[in-house]
Amino acid sequence: MTSNPPNRPLIEVRGLHRYFGKTKAVQDMSFKVFPGEVFGYIGPNGAGKTTSMRILATLDEPTYGNAFVDGFSVVDDPDRVRRRLGFMPDYFGAYQNVNVYEYLDFFARSYGLRGAQRTGAIHYVMDFTQLDKLADKPIDGLSKGMKQRLCLGRTMIHDPAVLILDEPAAGLDPRARIELREMIALLAKNGKAVLISSHILTELAEICDRVGIIEQGKLLAVGSVDEISGRAETISKVQVRVLDGTERLITWLTARDDIADIVQKDRGVAFTHEGGPPKQAELLKQLVQAEFAVVDFASKTKSLEDVFLHVTEGRVQ
Amino acid sequence: MSTADANTTEAERPTQATSNWRNWLEVLEHRVVGLLEWANPILVKETRQALKSKQFLLTFAIVLVACWIVSFAGRAIIGPQIFYIASGQDMLVAYYAILAFPLAVIVPFSAFRSLSAEKEDNTYDLLSITTLSSQQVITGKLGSAILQILIYFSVVSPCIAFTFLLRGVDAVSVALLLGVTLLASIGMSLIGLLAGTMASVRYTQMLLSVGLVLGMAFAFFGAVGVTPELLRESHKMIQDRDFWIGLGGVLTLYLTTFGLLHTAAAAQISFPSENRSTRIRYWMLLQQACFVAWMTVPPLLYPDEPEAVPVLACAAVGIGLIYWYVMGSIMTGEWPHLSRRVQRSLPSSLVGRSLFSWLNPGPASGYVFAVANSGALVALGLITLWANAPFPPFGLSATQISQFMLLGWCYLIIFLGLGRLLVSVLRRVAFVPLAAAFLVHLILMMAAIGVPAVIYSMSSQFRSSGYSLLLATNPFWTLSEVLESGLVSGREMLVYLLPAAAIVTFLLNLRAIGAELSRHRIAAPARVYEEEEELHPHPEPSPTSPWEEDPREPAKV
């Protein structure tokens, strides 16, 4: 496999469209994922996540547009793309009468690994996914979590530069999720580009460097969670506590145009403030200048769920 | 050496021999394992699966038990006469029936299921994103089927050897019977795989399953029913030169059709942007070449029967026209747009473009390909016919046969051309896949035959007058009339009508042909060249003779 210059994205989607008859599953989607980056794909069911992932995995063709893996078109050079790409679908394709080792061995052979290179890759993957003790176990008898590990192992058996993981944490218990998250973080640390979709937004927020919010086939926002929150943040909730003079503070706040919904709480005042972080900083400065003894000033940081709901404008069903 | 030492050495000798034997086995095993590194991954995986699968073990056990039962029961029924009468043939038929069942039904159906089950179990996607090519997938699946066939053979082979000892069958007949069965089973497995590639949705899977089971049952009962007669006649057959010539012809047809179907099955599962057509067209060309070559054999073998040559030429052209009509119906259903991937490999030189453009995918190039090949066949037929014109067979004149060939070709040009135009119009309003395009051709042909036939049957005036020009759209009726009665009593019009219609149809298709012909090769993306350069770097320039300066060394000042 050829080396990848750091400025070249490992995944590049350019104006991707995919129509199924009159249904527009993917519309004008564009984004890039660079080496060592984990890119989260967020969207409700039927938003077009799996369709676009399948196109990237060379399992489907776009109606218009193109997608590139390490600079190779998924439409024109699928064979070159496949050498660089590992795809973990949201289902587990199980073969009958095959054990864990044989399953991995088959895929290693299918990716052209021979001899010591193949056995080395199988042992590395089994060690990485902690499946080494289950080598002889038939895959039909594996638990959901073990199957997901095996599926991840199959995805990375040929050491691809790009990993596309469609709902890898679905159906896993909390412990297995944490372990999966750690594995993905390790893969990214090793320089792989990871495109991951999940319904569990808190999980994505923790491991993703950037996220793309997709709805009805359209990519609505791309960036880090903070960037998107920043862009989305026009009104935020703020809580202020002063040593004394709470009543005076309420009067002072009521006089301002950028403040509303003032509520006196246990030991402070909560309100909504129109404006992003710079205006909040300005507000704090003015409070201090107005000789309030501010002991606590907190604005609630938006979670990925808040951002998602804000960006999708609550259209998600 | 003391006596004790000598004794010890004697005692150790067998152990040492066993150890050597084991070492040799280990070396052999190591070599075999080394070879298996290069075996098709699907073959390796499916062999592992088959050896653990209940279905295979059950069938294997049933075949084994059935062989034992037949052996014991046959021996008991024949009784002491076994020493005096030749009972090998009857026993062979019984064993053959046991062998034929897995070979004609179980293995081909398993091949079909192995591919369709991949789609059901969601493993097909995982398989298709590996670096295995579609040819490797089909070959691996077929290899697994062949392995199963050989295992079933190995079960029955001792029993077949036993029938040879019972007399009544000769080694050549048995070898022929088993050889043909082996090839037939492999061929049927390939058909099963081809069907498996077509079974994309559940209802097509059901339809194909039913069709395959019926076909396989027919093959099984046919084989078992014909075998006793074949074995009785085998003595005469194997001494007949014509039998071996015929077998050679059938074998050629089998091998070329096998290649064609294998390529078609691989094309079915390849990525949409890949070239799915050119390889199939090469196989068609090879089939046509073999067909023409075999047609020259009878005149060479029977120079004293020149009247047979025109009949043979007529039959060959008839078969060839049907073949190219069917193949043309498939080719004209291809998608007209070429992917960028295919465009990268288009012929670029003038000679290449004029000779090989017809092998490029596309409905119009497919149309020209079918028309040109069938035209070549007709031309060869006409040359053969007129070279032997002094020997008109069965009261047929050379003119009649010529008219049959030429009008047959005109029909092919018309029907394929109209079908292609119809598909092209339909594609402007709806998605028309290859199978639907083939159906359009079929409907067009049925309409051309059926509509005049209905009018004809409803009018007593037409019925009493026999063949009329109203039936000109029916190629089968018209061509049989041409052969039987010639173009007499007003039918001469056909000589002008059909070629004119053929020319008009061809001209109507000319625009699409021109469009497909004008496509140019495009360059591969820079990234592809970049990788090629990294994977296969140009060798450093080095001196090619002792007198030449080494370009790698710095220039001397």
Q: Please give, rounded to a whole number of angstroms, the shortest distance from the CA of A68 to a CA of chain B.
A: 11
The confidence score (pLDDT) of residue A317 equals 40
Tell me whether residue B355 is in a domain: yes
User: Do B207 and B320 belong together in one domain?
Assistant: no
Q: What is the mean pLDDT of residues B494-506?
A: 93
Asked if A107 lies within 8 A of B126 by C-beta distance, the reply is yes
Q: Tell me the average pLDDT of chain B.
A: 86
Q: Evaluate if residue A250 carries a pLDDT over 80.
A: yes
Q: Please give, rounded to a whole number of angstroms, the shortest distance from the CA of A3 to a CA of chain B.
A: 9
Question: Cα(A62)–Cα(A80) distance, rounded to whole angstroms?
Answer: 18
* Chain A residue numbers touching B340 (CB-CB < 8 A): 73, 75-76
The confidence score (pLDDT) of residue A36 equals 92
* Chain B residue numbers touching A107 (CB-CB < 8 A): 126, 130
Asked if B339 lies within 8 A of A75 by C-beta distance, the reply is yes
* Chain A residue numbers touching B133 (CB-CB < 8 A): 79
Tell me whether residue B412 is in a domain: yes
The confidence score (pLDDT) of residue A19 equals 93
Kindly tell me the burial class for residue B82, based on how many C-beta atoms sit within 10 Å of its own C-beta (0-12, 13-18, 19 or more): middle
pLDDT > 90 fraction of chain A, expressed in percent and rounded: 38
The end-to-end CA distance of chain B, in Å, is 78
Asked if A82 lies within 8 A of B127 by C-beta distance, the reply is no
User: Do B358 and B223 belong together in one domain?
Assistant: no
Pairs across A and B, CB distance < 8 A: 100
Asked if B129 lies within 8 A of A87 by C-beta distance, the reply is yes
Tell me whether residue B127 is in a domain: yes
The confidence score (pLDDT) of residue B2 equals 45
B80, two tokens? 């002491």
User: Which SS3 state, helix, strand or coil, does residue A94 take?
Assistant: coil
User: Do B167 and B89 belong together in one domain?
Assistant: yes
**Residue of chain B with shortest Cα separation from A79:** B131
User: Do B316 and B218 belong together in one domain?
Assistant: no
Asked if A59 lies within 8 A of B272 by C-beta distance, the reply is no
Q: Evaluate if residue A293 carries a pLDDT over 80.
A: yes
Is residue B438 within 8 Å of B330, Cβ to Cβ? Answer: yes
Find the range with the poorest average confidence among A218-232, A266-280, B30-44, B337-351.
A218-232
* Chain A residue numbers touching B121 (CB-CB < 8 A): 93-95
Tell me whether residue B25 is in a domain: no
Q: Within 13 A of B223's CA, how many CA atoms are on the CB side?
A: 26
**Residue of chain B with shortest Cα separation from A97:** B49
Angle at A72 between CA A69 and CA A77, to 5 degrees: 115
Q: What is the mean pLDDT of residues B335-340?
A: 89
B214: number of Cβ within 10 Å: 10
Asked if B530 lies within 8 A of A2 by C-beta distance, the reply is yes
User: Do B513 and B368 belong together in one domain?
Assistant: yes
* Chain A residue numbers touching B273 (CB-CB < 8 A): 61, 75-76, 78
* Chain A residue numbers touching B528 (CB-CB < 8 A): 72, 77, 80
ipTM of this complex:
0.81
User: Which SS3 state, helix, strand or coil, does residue A136 take?
Assistant: coil
Q: What is the mean pLDDT of residues A251-264?
A: 87
Measure CB to CB from residue A112 to each of B126, B131, B530 and give the nearest one.
B131
B375, two tokens? 């035209």
The confidence score (pLDDT) of residue B1 equals 42
End residue of a domain, out of B193, B208, B239: B239
Better-scored residue on pLDDT, B84 or B410: B410
Measure CB to CB from residue A71 to each of B49, B122, B527 and give the nearest one.
B527
User: Do B210 and B315 belong together in one domain?
Assistant: no
**Residue of chain B with shortest Cα separation from A104:** B45
Asked if B340 lies within 8 A of A75 by C-beta distance, the reply is yes
User: B373: closest CA among B315, B439, B441, B292?
Assistant: B292
B4 confidence band (pLDDT: 50, 70, 90): very low
Asked if A110 lies within 8 A of B132 by C-beta distance, the reply is yes
User: Do B314 and B235 belong together in one domain?
Assistant: no
Q: Please give, rounded to a whole number of angstroms, the shortest distance from the CA of B422 to a CA of chain A.
A: 22
The confidence score (pLDDT) of residue B552 equals 64
The confidence score (pLDDT) of residue B388 equals 73
Q: Please give, rounded to a whole number of angstroms, the shortest distance from the CA of B47 to a CA of chain A.
A: 11
The confidence score (pLDDT) of residue A233 equals 58
Asked if B128 lies within 8 A of A59 by C-beta distance, the reply is yes
Tell me whether residue B296 is in a domain: no
Q: Which residues contact B471 (CB under 8 A, 6 or more apart)?
A: B452, B453, B456, B477, B478
B357 confidence band (pLDDT: 50, 70, 90): confident
pLDDT digits (tens, 9 = 90+) for A145-203: 888 889 999 999 999 999 999 988 877 778 878 888 888 888 899 889 999 998 777 77
**Residue of chain A with shortest Cα separation from B34:** A115
User: Which of B124, B129, B137, B344 to mutate: most A Cβ within 10 Å?
Assistant: B129
Tell me whether residue B540 is in a domain: no
Q: Which domains does chain A have, with CATH numbers?
A: 11-223 (3.40.50.300), 234-301 (3.30.70.920)
A313 confidence band (pLDDT: 50, 70, 90): low
Q: Which residues contact B178 (CB under 8 A, 6 or more apart)?
A: B153, B160
Asked if B122 lies within 8 A of A91 by C-beta distance, the reply is yes
Q: Which domain holds residue B469?
A: 309-519
The confidence score (pLDDT) of residue A230 equals 65
User: Which of A97, A151, A156, A163 to mutate: most B Cβ within 10 Å?
Assistant: A97
- The owner of tokens 């056909």 is B494
The confidence score (pLDDT) of residue B556 equals 56
Chain centroid, CA B139 distance in Å: 14
The confidence score (pLDDT) of residue B299 equals 76
B390 confidence band (pLDDT: 50, 70, 90): low
Asked if A57 lies within 8 A of B525 by C-beta distance, the reply is no
Q: Please give, rounded to a whole number of angstroms, the shortest distance from the CA of B338 to a CA of chain A.
A: 11
Radius of gyration of chain A (CA): 24
Amino acid at B290: C
User: Which of A51, A106, A158 to mutate: most B Cβ within 10 Å?
Assistant: A106
The confidence score (pLDDT) of residue A316 equals 45
* Chain A residue numbers touching B128 (CB-CB < 8 A): 58-59
User: Which SS3 state, helix, strand or coil, does residue A213 take?
Assistant: strand
Is residue B416 within 8 Å of B333, Cβ to Cβ? Answer: no
* Chain B residue numbers touching A155 (CB-CB < 8 A): none
Inter-CA distances, B552 with B39, B89, B533, B543, Å: 42, 77, 19, 9
Inter-CA distances, B13 with B21, B358, B539, Å: 12, 72, 57
Asked if A89 lies within 8 A of B44 by C-beta distance, the reply is no
Q: Which residues contact B439 (CB under 8 A, 6 or more apart)?
A: none
User: Which SS3 state, helix, strand or coil, does residue A30 take?
Assistant: strand
End residue of a domain, out of B239, B260, B278: B239
Measure CB to CB from residue A61 to each of B44, B132, B272 and give the nearest one.
B272
Measure CB to CB from residue A109 to each of B44, B271, B344 and give the nearest one.
B44
Chain centroid, CA B445 distance in Å: 25
Inter-CA distances, B244 with B169, B223, B249, B251, B346, Å: 19, 20, 9, 10, 42
The confidence score (pLDDT) of residue A37 equals 92
Q: Please give, rounded to a whole number of angstroms, the shortest distance from the CA of B400 to a CA of chain A.
A: 53
Better-scored residue on pLDDT, B504 or B163: B504
User: Do B366 and B508 belong together in one domain?
Assistant: yes
Number of structural domains chain B divides into = 2
Measure CB to CB from residue B531 to each of A61, A80, A85 and give the nearest one.
A80
Q: Name the interface residues of B facing A (CB cutoff 8 Å).
A: 37-38, 41-42, 44-45, 48-49, 52-53, 121-133, 271-273, 339-341, 344, 525, 527-528, 530-531, 534-535
Tell me whether residue B318 is in a domain: yes
Question: Cα(B376)–Cα(B196) distance, rounded to whole angstroms?
Answer: 35
Q: What is the DSSP letter of B104?
A: I
The confidence score (pLDDT) of residue A94 equals 81
pLDDT digits (tens, 9 = 90+) for B77-129: 877 777 777 778 888 899 999 999 999 999 999 999 988 888 888 888 999 99
Q: What is the mean pLDDT of residues A49-57?
A: 94
Give the DSSP letter string of B322-363.
Answer: HHHHHHHHHHTTS-SPPPHHHHTTS--SHHHHHHHGGGSSSH
The confidence score (pLDDT) of residue A216 equals 86
Is residue A312 within 8 Å of A220, Cβ to Cβ? Answer: yes
Q: Tell me the average pLDDT of chain A.
A: 86
Asked if A92 lies within 8 A of B122 by C-beta distance, the reply is yes
Question: Cα(A223)–Cα(A87) distance, rounded to whole angstroms?
Answer: 23
The confidence score (pLDDT) of residue B34 equals 80
B215 confidence band (pLDDT: 50, 70, 90): very high
The confidence score (pLDDT) of residue A81 equals 95
Better-scored residue on pLDDT, B237 or B555: B237
Q: Evaluate if residue B304 carries a pLDDT over 80.
A: no
pLDDT digits (tens, 9 = 90+) for A111-129: 999 888 999 999 999 998 8
End residue of a domain, out of B218, B239, B260: B239
User: Which of B130, B134, B274, B531 to mutate: most A Cβ within 10 Å?
Assistant: B130
* Chain B residue numbers touching A97 (CB-CB < 8 A): 48-49, 52-53
Question: Cα(B25)–Cα(B17) distance, rounded to whole angstroms?
Answer: 12
Q: Please give, rounded to a whole number of angstroms, the shortest distance from the CA of A24 to a CA of chain B.
A: 16
User: Do B441 and B327 belong together in one domain?
Assistant: yes
Q: Please give, rounded to a whole number of angstroms, the shortest distance from the CA of B426 to a CA of chain A.
A: 16
Q: Please give, rounded to a whole number of angstroms, the shortest distance from the CA of B518 to a CA of chain A.
A: 21
Asked if A95 lies within 8 A of B45 by C-beta distance, the reply is yes
- The owner of tokens 């009509």 is B325
pLDDT digits (tens, 9 = 90+) for B124-156: 899 999 999 999 999 999 999 999 999 999 989
A76, two tokens? 């024109």
Most confident of A134-143, B168-177, B251-260, B296-305: B251-260
Q: Name the interface residues of A facing B (CB cutoff 8 Å).
A: 2, 57-59, 61, 70-73, 75-80, 82-83, 85, 87, 89, 91-98, 102, 105-107, 109-112, 114-115, 118, 154, 158
Tell me whether residue B538 is in a domain: no
B355 confidence band (pLDDT: 50, 70, 90): confident
Kindly tell me the burial class for residue A30, based on how many C-beta atoms sit within 10 Å of its own C-beta (0-12, 13-18, 19 or more): middle
Q: Please give, rounded to a whole number of angstroms, the shortest distance from the CA of B539 to a CA of chain A.
A: 18
User: Which SS3 state, helix, strand or coil, does residue A258 take?
Assistant: coil
Q: Evaluate if residue A4 carries a pLDDT over 70.
A: no
Radius of gyration of chain B (CA): 31
Is residue A277 within 8 Å of A230, Cβ to Cβ? Answer: yes
